Amino acid sequence: MSDDCAFLAKDVVVPQVNSIQYSKSNSLISLKRGKCSSCGSPVISIFNVFGFLSFVYIPSKNIPPNINITRIDAHTFYKRRVSEIYDRAPKYYGYWSSQLNTVRILLWALLRLKIHKG
């Protein structure tokens, strides 16, 4: 099952290596997709929303085991699920509802961080 984690871009160090091949698309949301050059599987997606909010998607299987990811905020692109998920996290089916809700969740997370830091 495809399962990605979203991070703020500033919190992620992207290795500058030749083993990641990038393709780019530009709109209100610019997207840079990185794929493994040997097997073609997705390695990273870098989004920039309206020119100021940057975040990255990383397949959960590529997250080092020492980084503990336990909180699930939502299931996005649920239309393409491989199997049903039975938990209480909201599910977003289509492309735009997935993208917009990811942005919304990240903005709320940023706001909570700001409030927390004071």
Applying CB under 5 A, which residues contact Zn ion? 36, 38-39
| Minimal distance, residue 72 CB to Zn ion, in Å | 26
> In the complex with Zn ion, which residue's Cβ is closer, 37 or 69?
37
| Minimal distance, residue 83 CB to Zn ion, in Å | 23
C-alpha distances in angstroms, 93 versus 49, 51, 58? 20, 25, 19
> In the complex with Zn ion, which residue's Cβ is closer, 16 or 38?
38
Nearest-5° angle of CA 74, CA 20, CA 98? 20
Burial 73-104 (b: 16+ CB within 10 A, else e): eebbbbeeeeeeeeeeeebbeeeebbbebbbe
> In the complex with Zn ion, which residue's Cβ is closer, 17 or 28?
17
| Minimal distance, residue 90 CB to Zn ion, in Å | 31
